[in-house]
Structure 1
Amino acid sequence: MSSSPRTEHPARWRSPRGWPLRTRIVAIIITLLTILGLAVGTTAYVFLHDQLYSQVDTKLEGTNSQFRAKPNNGNFDPDRFNDRSTPYPGQESGSITVYYEDGEFTYGGKVLAGRDSNGIPSISWDPLSDAAIKELKSVAVGDKVNIDVDGQGSFRATASVEPDGAVRVTALSLKTVNDTLLRIALVTAGAILIAIGVAGWAGAFIVRRTLAPLDRVAATATKVSELKLDRGQVELAQRVPEQDTDPRTEVGQVGAALNQMLDHVGNALEARHASEMQVRQFVADASHELRTPLAAIRGYAELSRRSRAPISEEISHVLNRVESEAKRMTLLVEDLLLLARLDAGRPLAHDPVDLTMLVVDTVSDAHAAGPGHYWQLDLPEEPVIVYGDGARLHQVLANLLANARTHTPEGTAVTVAVTTMPNAAVIHVIDSGPGIPAELQPHIFERFARGDSSRSRAAGSTGLGLSIVHAVVTAHRGKVAVQSEPGRTVFSVMLPYDAPQPAVPPAEQQFAQLPS
């Protein structure tokens, strides 16, 4: 088993459920800080807004009071006080005051403060446009509203009725207030963004440091997942470091549980390996010991048939059956002994083998054994040489051809093709028979695996032929696979060359590219 690399699919990142744990934690921190910053900033902005507007309203009330109060400096001039052709002394420069009676504008404008030619302070009206006067006249008596005065900007305005029935509209500029609020909003937003950036960086650093033990636990689990645990002796030495197994922490509990599980798995693998070795040793010993009595049975049966003494037809038939079954059992014992030796890692020969000649010889033998089939060859022009055990490779191809001959009807076309890849040679055995049932294909190379009646034991199959093919090819560092559907079954055997080029991917990685 091997862990597949993590792929970053775009759809996965659209949902937080597909994010890594550290990313989700940092995202939650940033989200909470953003919400908190917006809440604090909005509250401060609203409070400051109300305070500044309250100050403007107070100043607006103070300006109106100047019109209602009389000077107490002893120099009261009634005509000057009632004169509306010029601003009242003390009005704020930049403010606006307009008078209108019966809906018609009479006096007013924007207050301009300055000095005359003698250097004496003076104030005067700056005329307003008709649109600006119209906007000011829209202010209802007693209201305090914000309006945009044409060509002048934003103002806070209120209207009141004079004793003589005229309506006076007074407005103070909101430029300073709005500029202050804008600066506050920008400063607050900038502070929130800086705080979020710092919190994100610090949060990522802290979370990475905090989750480092979890990464070490995951690394240990990944190393274990890359081990081949299905067969052979397994050295399960990987364990979570002791510093990451503190039961007082959540990660420590996971690390301790993983170590305990690995201990149990290691013990189970050792027990399984010991049991496997006992079974293999028993099969090898039994197969080896059975060869002698089987040879004796066959010898005595053959000797009795050659005896000059007359024997009945019934006894002759019995002896023929004994010799036939002894031969069949001998083949079974030889197959079991071969599998036991391959399982034990018995080294094979390492000689140059010409696959083209091997295929020609094997197909010739198959043609003699099954003349009712249509045998075809598809070979390259140049010889294809691999290094291995010629006798075992011959057995591999013979078993595949015997499998095709046995489980397909007469007249079936069987093609044997040899192709080459950058790092391997490939043998294809293709037949046009009924195919292998889909439910059997995943188990086709297991020992004693048999299919339905279309792949029956009518020809005396032991169910070990394809398992021998798999074992021999695996011992040669190769691969074998099957693809089958009604009317076409392809067995593909890949055999790597002795010295593959380093620049080309290993032969195992190319096996998925085999033509069907």
Structure 2
Amino acid sequence: MIAGQWTRRPRSLRGRLVWGVTLLAAAAVLTAQSTGVLVLHSWLLNRVDQQLAEFILPDQAFADRDALPSRPAPDSVTLPSDFRVTFYSASGEERGTLGGGQKPGPKLPRSTSELHLREGRQATVPAESGDGHWRVLWKDGPVQRTTFVVALPLDTADEVMSKLLALNAGILAAAVVGLIAVGRWVVRLGLLPLTRMENTAQDIRAGHLSLRLPDTDPRTETGRLSTVLNDMLERLQQALQQREFSEARLRRFVADAGHELRTPLTSIQGFAQLALRHPDRPAAQRREADEQVARNAERMNLLVDDLLLLARLDQEPTYRTDPVDLLSLAADAVSAAAVRAGGEHRVTLSPLDEQVEDAELDVVETVGDPDRLLQVVNNLLSNALVHTPPATPVDVRVGTTRAGAETGGTDRPGRTSAFPPLVEGTPVCVIAVVDQGPGLSPEEAERVFERFYRVDPSRSRDHGGSGLGLAIATAIAQGHGGRLELDTAPGEGCTFRLVLPLVETDRSA
């Protein structure tokens, strides 16, 4: 492995938590044990130091007040416990010791010049042999200018400390093992929600997109995380469904466009081949063939224009924001439709709320692109004239209201639209095209705003169009911040409603 490229293998969250908790707890136990050992050791030394400080040399230690005993008799002086006393003369030389026992005595020098002790201060010195220790104290003797060193062994204290250290080591080892075992169980239990999330995520990755993460309790971190991830998954699924829908719609659009274009192209190709094969046809036949070629070329040209317009509308075009008088716009559309109807339909213009007594037509002003809005109304009127029987009345209603289930702009049973509803109560202006024709079934109404959809597939452009008119009108309505909707039922006619947000216009402009 190249130096500098070595990377530490990452540990799992469960392992890091277990070892982290174990190390912290072991450090706490070790700190407590160390504190206990130090306190006990200090207490034992203080006990020994207190005994040394309170030690009083027996009078029998000096048979002669003028001389120190060189080698006292074994039973001449009895010292308490394990005390050892070493005497030094006025000249600093060692003169003898008192005290018995089988333990090796303290290792002390032969003269006070090598003693290295401070008078009245306890110190610890090693034993003469072995690994024992003695606690010693240097004091003045009863004879002038004489001194002695009193000593006590630390075997008891050392033995207590050794046993305590061994016991603490065993407790620490048991605590570490117990902490690892219990910590693994506690961490596994605590991370159980994450484990369930992991299993669910693997199932989602396997293709079960409808699954959602459990444990959505907002009081816990994993619950809040699950909630956020569920919202994200919901949006991703909706985006995937929308993409699939868009792809299917695009494929259907391309197929329908190809189908619509193939018919006039086939006709043009057929008449062209006929002209090449029979150049000596009569003039009447040639004129009829030329008329058919021109008619199909015009039909194809209109279809291409509609496709290009839809493409521009899909690219979020910019609309003009001029003041628009919807009443005048609707009147122009009604006049043009009456001419096209040729007396077969009665086309009228009336106020939006015609049920109100003495209701009158009034100016309805908004802001938008007047040419595009006029195109929407013309498409709606053309759709009503083509798809209703002759002599069917068609009424165009114009006015202002507020969005609602009865007035339009919001959803309700029997109403369809390609876009979401407006907020209920929003001030809106409405142009409604109402006919008293046969109406549509719910299945037909659900698809009426789709591109290339025709209620009667057998209709040609000359008798019903290619199914792009309502799609164009819907795109224009959306571009103006409104929507196009349909209220219909079999036998009850159709009400196409262009709903636009009411925008105050500057009359002084």
Shorter-chain TM-score: which interval?
A: 0.3 to 0.5
Q: Which is helix-richer, 1 or 2?
A: 1
Q: Which has the larger radius of gyration?
A: 2
TM-score normalised by the chain length of structure 2: 0.45
TM-score normalised by the chain length of structure 1: 0.45
